[in-house]
A and B are shown apart, each in its own frame.
Chain A
Amino acid sequence: MNSGTPSSSAGAPGSAESAAPRRNSKRPKYSRFTQQELPACKPILTPKWVISAFLLVSVVFIPIGVVSLFASRDVVEIIDRYETECIPLDSRNNKTGFMWSNADKTCNRIITVTKHMKQPIYVYYQLDNFYQNHRRYVKSRSDQQLRNPGNERDISTCSPEDTTPEGLPIVPCGLIAWSMFNDTYSLSRNNQQLGINKRGISWQSDRDRKFGKGVFPKNFQNGTAPGGAKLNESIPLSEQEDLIVWMRTAALPTFRKLYGKIEVDLQAGDVINVTLQNNYNTYNFNGKKKLVLSTTSWLGGKNDFMGIAYLTVGGLCFCLAMGFMLIYLIKPRQLGDPSYLSWNRNPGGH
């Protein structure tokens, strides 16, 4: 019941005049927008458009696929899986025990270069079945502490690797840093040391902004539970590139991380001696360890999938285009053929 509206009765002569201005104000104003008449483009999928769309996709995709495939083929990749071989035969029944012991963990591996590798050659370590993306693991870090020397007590997120038993803050704190990968590789060719450059393997912005120049490791790996790598306490975090790389948690349980760069070309047939320290314990959880030497292309590492996917999609679209073309040829339907209207197809249908 609306008491506010003054109502004009149709029959009353006096009210007609007073109502007149009100009436005009109620008239909706014309605009193409309010009348839903805005100019519009109304594309429809005519056979021509369908076929050309599919053809266009295939025309674009197939070359990209080919180029990607070539790029991927150019990449030379050598993978050496060593986690079992680097355990002395007699310890293979108890790999974990071996890892805990103080035995010498040095291990020699021989890699043969199959194809010419142009520098820079990237050295990676690859871990399998290592859940860097586990929620407990991902959260266990303190960006504030890494960045700022004043925030070394900012460790609330780092449990359980937050403080030493004495209550001193650990820098860098958290599970990620604590469990840092600590196998080391040294490569030699023909008894000649191959230098591995470990500079510039992390992101520039990480070095500049995320890991503080004035933050030095403190109380790190002093606890009872030995984790992974130890850090040189005299080098600021911003220069500990292995740490910076490790701290970028991987998305999947199988991942590669950059270890360094070899800045000389390797020739096909070169034999490379790898002396590695097999320190990192992946035996508890049957994690594989691999050493990877790889060149890159503009596409990154060896990645045939990309090219194949492009070729597949391109091919699929080409087939679709052909299919539709055939269909239109065999059973053409004239554009806007009224005989396809529902009332023409089933006459009398209600």
Chain B
Amino acid sequence: MAGGRIRAKLRRSNLYTFACHRPHPTEEDKTDEIEGPGYSRIVHCNKPHIHEIKPLKYCTNYISTTKYNFLTFLPKAIFEQFRRVANLYFLLAAALSLTPVSPFGPMSMIAPLAFVVGLSMAKEALEDWRRFIQDMKVNLRKASVHKEGGVFGLKPWMKLRVGDIVKVEKDQFFPADLLLLSSSYEDGICYVETMNLDGETNLKVKRALEVTLSLDDDPTFEGFDATIRCEDPNPNLYTFVGKLDYNSRVHPLDPNQILLRDSKLRNTAYVYGVVIFTGHDSKVMQNATKSPSKRSRIEKQMDKIIYILFSFLVFISFISGVGFIVKTKNDLPHWWYLQVPDREGLFDPNKPLQSAFYHLVTALMLYGYLIPISLYVSIEVVKVLQAIFINQDLNMYDEESGTPAQARTSNLNEELGQVDTILSDKTGTLTCNQMDFLKCSIAGTAYGTRASDVELAAAKQMVMDMDGQGQNGNGNFSEKNGHEFAGPEIQLETVITSKDEDAINNKNPIKGFSFEDSRLMNGNWFKEPNENNILLFFRILSLCHTAIPEQNQETGVFTYEAESPDEGAFLVAAREFGFEFCKRTQSSVFVREKYPSSQEPTEREFKVLALLDFTSKRKRMSVIIRDEKDQILLLCKGADSIIFDRLSKNGRMYEEATRKHLNEYGEAGLRTLALAYKKLSEEEYSTWNDEFTKAKTSFGADREANLERVSDLMEKDLILVGATAVEDKLQKGVPQCIDKLAQAGLKIWVLTGDKMETAINIGFACSLLRQGMRQICISSNLDAIVQDCRQAAKEDILQQITNGTEMIKVEKDPHAAFALIIDGKTLTYALEDDMKHHFLNLAIECASVICCRVSPKQKALVTRLVKEGTGKITLAIGDGANDVGMIQEADIGVGISGCEGMQAVMASDFAIAEFQFLERLLVVHGHWCYKRIAQMICYFFYKNIAFGLTIFYFEAFAGFSGQSVYDDWYMLLFNVVLTSLPVISLGVFEQDVDSEVCLQFPALYQQGPKNLFFDWQRIFGWMANGLYTSLVIFFLNIVIFYDQAFRLEGQTADMVAVGTAMMTCVIWAVNVQIALTMSHFTWIQHFLISGSITMWYLFLLVYGEMAYSLRVNAFRVLIEILAPAPIYWSTTLLVTVLCNLPYLAHISFQRSFKPLDHHIIQEIKYSRKDIEDGHMWSRERSKARQKTKIGFTARVDAKIRQLKGRLQKKYSTMSTCHHPIGQQQT
């Protein structure tokens, strides 16, 4: 609970959940503040009809999370669509296509736009429909509502009104925000699970007012009448101010009486409540925030390309405008066959500027093919399909919890392939958030013989080091590399599995309890010298908590709903030691104590007089109890530093020994808490209690401060009993995964709420830190000094940062690795504007960065700093509500859909079940998606430039009149049908190397962060390729067809024939091009590429027959005119080959002389060398990851270097604590 607390909890204004006494009915003056602005809500209980008319008409309980409804869908969705610049341009073009300015018929502009926009809108509609269905499922849930005369009946949730009396039964959700009136328990308490609200899995206790306790049966509500005045709807989950006017008396209300919508009734048979806030007024709905919409960097870059193309479009339009003016002014009057000027003034030699303006519009529309209209929609389709693949990946499916990976937003897929820095939460992400009680120190004696994971890892490391020494002794070093590298993984795995086996072999594995020491077990503690302290220790464990017991009906074993897993582990431990916490009532805790002296456990009742709750600020919690001998005791547990500060003089007997043990535990990666107590006399208690009561019942802003001050008075002069050590287990596969990610060149930062020692130890456990790594710890040493000397503190920190940077600068050894460890308090200074860049520069130089004791806000700030400071792509991963800020801030947010609720997942872009799946998500899916999207976009631009420019060239040959050589329908279908499917298949199915190789060669991932496939060079290369293709297609066709007969029968080619031949070349060239681009052909690609070409001919056939009715010249253009002409076919062949020749030569050349890594690996796979020469394969695999400075491999590397004597270990003489931790560890 101390620094080792998991969740930095959301602020809870109500500190004292279990205050054993109720606030007295407050004086009238208190209620005054409930009037006035912000407190205007009046609820007439049991008279819902009053709330159906104004002025008390509140919103219904119908909720809707949809973006649109039937009426608003069309305008809203259309508006959304046309917020994209490209779409707006096409809309304008479509509108203009209805005027005579248009170079083509309106159909060819409107149809593709309608198709593209329609498709996007259909997707929107589908998504919204799903939301609507989900809403309706909720809205139609049935709730039991008081009808009249004390009769309750079922009603759908959406029909609930403010003022209704509702009966909610066990394990049901509350349909709206309710005021608790009574429950199945006599004292009116009930248990509530708020996981849907704040992600906390523990149960909370709610308590009804005393005056309403009698309303615990259906008929009692017949004449029930009361009025509630309370605050207006607001999103604050933990506050509520109001008063209940009942039986002409006014009773104040606080959050304890409020049951929030979407939380669940647990452990209580039923409750009655009156509806206060309905539907969107309820706190949970007020809280719903939209996660910010993120766009991937590739898409942003793509926008730039589109702007470039737009400028180019405008540019060539101007060229053609100038050409038009020249032609119109000088030549057109002589072209008698045109009879200019025309009526519309489009070609008026006398007003060349006016005509030129019209022409400019025409040209802008005509060359619009440079901008691929279908790009956005194709990308959207591709991304959705990619997301489906991510969701369907069985390798990212967690069998245990049954959750598959989930791409919650599909527009960041390719960003996954470019991640540079991972910012990870620790608890619940790296660790399981499952606490095992492992060791304890009681009265200066250490108990517990089991070793922690960290200790095991350290031990194993030592064994391995010795092995390594043996192997390396013979100097045959490089030959053996591969085998050595294979080593650590296997060993690490065996250690971990053997540990699991241990747990299985253990006869009675108990969740949360791995303690082994016969001195304390089975009642043996009674024989220990300090048995009184041990008894006290156990009592603190079993009494000082806020948990609720739950008895398993079959086995009779108690399980505990605790606020934190540590607490749960304590209770389990206490149970195992023979102090079974079995019942909690409003005022008492019952514990079954089992002594070796007697067979049967005796049930003891401890009256809880006060409970001072845990907060992250206080870092301690206490209970004041009265035992059966009327002795009043304060039991306290908390962070060791806090407790040690509060010990009395005679309470420090075991301080030194305990400190020593705490250090040991800390080094072993355990979370520690110190336990203490003090005895209170009756009067001491009652004086304090008076003050406490006063503070408790006071209202207003200083209430909290008051309470804190009063609690502080009590929690001092304590007597130390001992300390606990709980192991926070690492999640499965975490060290391996971190190792792999590090090999892939990713930097990993850990941001944790834990204290520094714990964080460092976890760092060791998951290989983020290693022996020999220089640690730069930055902490504010000015703890004791008060806030005044902020400046001094800042300077001190700046000094430390500068020292660290200097140290790295002077370091000559290329293998030296640094680790930066910084704590939250220091971070507040380091994140200030004038410091943050120094801090960031230092952090970037370090191989691993660990930030401890950071608040959720700071997590988000650090994320922003990394994102904006480095300009690289950041990924934040976390599981709890405290990670939401960081997840939303990072370029990519990944939520762990584990057990800590849904908050993080709801805010995330991707959700995975375990940290270890991150490797596959990034290294496989990210890598693929990045390459796919990058190639796809490049190709898209290529294709449209190749096609669009031919239109421009033809213009120049047609007197800049705006005539297109292609039939309208060719152009219409080009983007939408004829070339769209192959490019989608490229975007969905392309794999440069298969998933296994991606994982085996993590270095391949670096192609993404280095942006090798979407840099400007490549983009312009593709554009140049498009330019070349357009030139070849146009001029070859023109030269071949322009004046000579093209058939044996002597006919010459007209515009339709030339256009069709040219289009055929375009279709072939771009499709052959995409085939050359792909490296992975399944039947789908084969089918789609050849299908596209076939489709073109089929289209010509069909269109050629239909053309008669469509009033165009293309009638039978294929079968009668072109197909019988050999020159048509030979032109196609010639142009297609010539178009793709440079690209083929380029990639052949590149592959021969500048092969990229995936080329080589493809070749190795292709020639099956990996099977023939397994030695080489594994050697390369290991080399592919050599550059890492963190992770397991790095540890081994460092060791080897050290042994080879290449590295002279130097310890810096810096004053900051950069001691090699390894020495401590051993």
Shortest distance between the CB of B269 and any CB in chain A (Å): 14
Does B262 have its Cβ within 8 Å of any Cβ on chain A?
yes
Complexed CA–CA distance, A136 and B332 (Å): 11
Contact present for B339 and A225 (CB under 8 Å)? yes
Chain A residues near B1165 (CB, 8 Å)?
42, 336
Partner of B285, one of A1, A5, A206, A301: A1
Contact present for B1051 and A341 (CB under 8 Å)? no
Complexed CA–CA distance, A134 and B334 (Å): 14
Chain A residues near B339 (CB, 8 Å)?
160-161, 175, 225
Complexed CA–CA distance, A347 and B1081 (Å): 34
- Given known A42-B1081, A316-B1141, contact A5–B902 (CB-CB < 8 A): yes
Partner of B1054, one of A4, A124, A249: A249
Does B816 have its Cβ within 8 Å of any Cβ on chain A?
no
Contact present for A335 and B1163 (CB under 8 Å)? yes
Chain B residues near A39 (CB, 8 Å)?
1082
* Mask of A194-233 contacts with B, CB within 8 angstroms, 1/0: 0000000101111001100000000000000101100000
Contact present for A133 and B957 (CB under 8 Å)? yes
Shortest distance between the CB of A208 and any CB in chain B (Å): 10
Partner of B1052, one of A175, A256, A335: A256
Shortest distance between the CB of B729 and any CB in chain A (Å): 14
Does B809 have its Cβ within 8 Å of any Cβ on chain A?
no
Shortest distance between the CB of B414 and any CB in chain A (Å): 16
Does A179 have its Cβ within 8 Å of any Cβ on chain B?
yes
Contact present for A1 and B906 (CB under 8 Å)? yes
- Given known A3-B63, A34-B389, A300-B1045, contact A313–B1130 (CB-CB < 8 A): no
Does A327 have its Cβ within 8 Å of any Cβ on chain B?
yes
Chain A residues near B394 (CB, 8 Å)?
27-28, 30, 35
Contact present for B1050 and A261 (CB under 8 Å)? yes
Shortest distance between the CB of B260 and any CB in chain A (Å): 11
Partner of B1148, one of A3, A22, A249, A324: A324
Does B1116 have its Cβ within 8 Å of any Cβ on chain A?
yes
Contact present for B1166 and A336 (CB under 8 Å)? yes
Shortest distance between the CB of B663 and any CB in chain A (Å): 32
Contact present for B1080 and A298 (CB under 8 Å)? no
Contact present for B1115 and A209 (CB under 8 Å)? yes
Contact present for A300 and B342 (CB under 8 Å)? no
Chain B residues near A255 (CB, 8 Å)?
1042-1043, 1052
Interface residues on A, range: 35 or more
Chain B residues near A234 (CB, 8 Å)?
none
Shortest distance between the CB of B325 and any CB in chain A (Å): 15
Contact present for B1055 and A251 (CB under 8 Å)? yes
Contact present for B173 and A3 (CB under 8 Å)? yes
Q: Which of B1119-1158 contact A (CB under 8 A)?
A: 1120-1121, 1125-1127, 1130-1131, 1133-1134, 1137-1138, 1141, 1144-1145, 1147-1148, 1151-1153, 1155-1157
Shortest distance between the CB of A31 and any CB in chain B (Å): 8
Does B1041 have its Cβ within 8 Å of any Cβ on chain A?
yes
Chain B residues near A132 (CB, 8 Å)?
1055
Q: Which of B1031-1084 contact A (CB under 8 A)?
A: 1036, 1038-1059, 1079-1084
Does B1102 have its Cβ within 8 Å of any Cβ on chain A?
no
* Mask of B328-360 contacts with A, CB within 8 angstroms, 1/0: 000100111111101100110000000000000
Contact present for A134 and B995 (CB under 8 Å)? no
Shortest distance between the CB of A305 and any CB in chain B (Å): 5
Q: Which residue of A lies closest to B264 (CB)?
A: A7
- 9-residue interface stretch from A43-51, A104-112, A163-171: A43-51
Contact present for A299 and B1127 (CB under 8 Å)? yes
Chain B residues near A299 (CB, 8 Å)?
1046, 1126-1127, 1130
Chain B residues near A126 (CB, 8 Å)?
1043
Chain A residues near B63 (CB, 8 Å)?
3
Complexed CA–CA distance, A285 and B1039 (Å): 23
Contact present for B196 and A256 (CB under 8 Å)? no
Contact present for B1044 and A300 (CB under 8 Å)? yes
Contact present for A336 and B335 (CB under 8 Å)? no
Q: Which residue of B lies closest to A159 (CB)?
A: B343
Q: Which residue of A lies closest to B900 (CB)?
A: A10
Q: Which of B94-109 contact A (CB under 8 A)?
A: 103
Complexed CA–CA distance, A317 and B1133 (Å): 14
- Given known A28-B397, A36-B989, A256-B1043, contact A44–B962 (CB-CB < 8 A): no
Complexed CA–CA distance, A258 and B1045 (Å): 9
For the A-B complex, the count of residue pairs with Cβ-Cβ distances under 8 Å equals 348
Chain B residues near A7 (CB, 8 Å)?
195-196, 264, 901-902
Shortest distance between the CB of A89 and any CB in chain B (Å): 23
Chain B residues near A296 (CB, 8 Å)?
1045, 1047-1050
Contact present for A1 and B197 (CB under 8 Å)? yes
Complexed CA–CA distance, A26 and B392 (Å): 10
Complexed CA–CA distance, A298 and B1183 (Å): 62
Chain B residues near A138 (CB, 8 Å)?
963, 1055
Does B1176 have its Cβ within 8 Å of any Cβ on chain A?
yes
* Mask of B272-289 contacts with A, CB within 8 angstroms, 1/0: 000000000000110110
Q: Which residue of A lies closest to B1104 (CB)?
A: A205
Q: Which residue of B lies closest to A64 (CB)?
A: B1130
Most chain A CB atoms below 10 A, which of B1044, B1059, B1144: B1044
Q: Which residue of B lies closest to A123 (CB)?
A: B1050
Does B801 have its Cβ within 8 Å of any Cβ on chain A?
no
Chain B residues near A285 (CB, 8 Å)?
331, 334-336
Chain B residues near A26 (CB, 8 Å)?
402-404
Chain A residues near B134 (CB, 8 Å)?
2, 4
Partner of B1080, one of A42, A302, A348: A42
Most chain B CB atoms below 10 A, which of A4, A120, A210, A328: A4
Does A144 have its Cβ within 8 Å of any Cβ on chain B?
yes
Contact present for A294 and B338 (CB under 8 Å)? no
Contact present for B1042 and A254 (CB under 8 Å)? yes
Contact present for A297 and B1152 (CB under 8 Å)? no
- Given known A1-B196, A249-B1055, contact A205–B1116 (CB-CB < 8 A): yes
Shortest distance between the CB of B725 and any CB in chain A (Å): 22
Chain A residues near B954 (CB, 8 Å)?
251
Does B704 have its Cβ within 8 Å of any Cβ on chain A?
no
Contact present for A303 and B1183 (CB under 8 Å)? no
Chain A residues near B197 (CB, 8 Å)?
1
Question: Contact residues of B with A, CB < 8 Å?
Answer: 63, 103, 134-135, 137-138, 173, 193, 195-197, 201, 261-262, 264, 266, 284-285, 287-288, 331, 334-340, 342-343, 346-347, 388-389, 391-394, 397, 399, 401-404, 550, 552, 559-561, 568, 745, 814, 899, 901-902, 906, 928, 954, 957-959, 961-963, 965, 989, 991, 995, 1003, 1036, 1038-1059, 1079-1084, 1108, 1111-1113, 1115-1116, 1120-1121, 1125-1127, 1130-1131, 1133-1134, 1137-1138, 1141, 1144-1145, 1147-1148, 1151-1153, 1155-1157, 1159-1167, 1169, 1176, 1179-1180, 1183-1184, 1186-1187
8 CB-based A-B contacts, threshold 8 Å: A12-B266, A130-B337, A201-B1051, A251-B954, A253-B957, A256-B1045, A258-B1050, A298-B1048
- Knowing that A45-B1151, A137-B338, A248-B1113 touch, tell me 20 more A-B residue pairs with CB under 8 angstroms: A1-B197, A1-B262, A2-B906, A3-B262, A4-B137, A7-B195, A11-B560, A38-B1082, A38-B1083, A135-B958, A135-B961, A249-B1054, A296-B1050, A300-B1046, A301-B1043, A301-B1050, A306-B1127, A306-B1134, A341-B1157, A341-B1160
7 shortest interchain CB distances as A-B pairs: A23-B402, A301-B1044, A336-B1163, A336-B1164, A179-B337, A122-B1050, A248-B1054
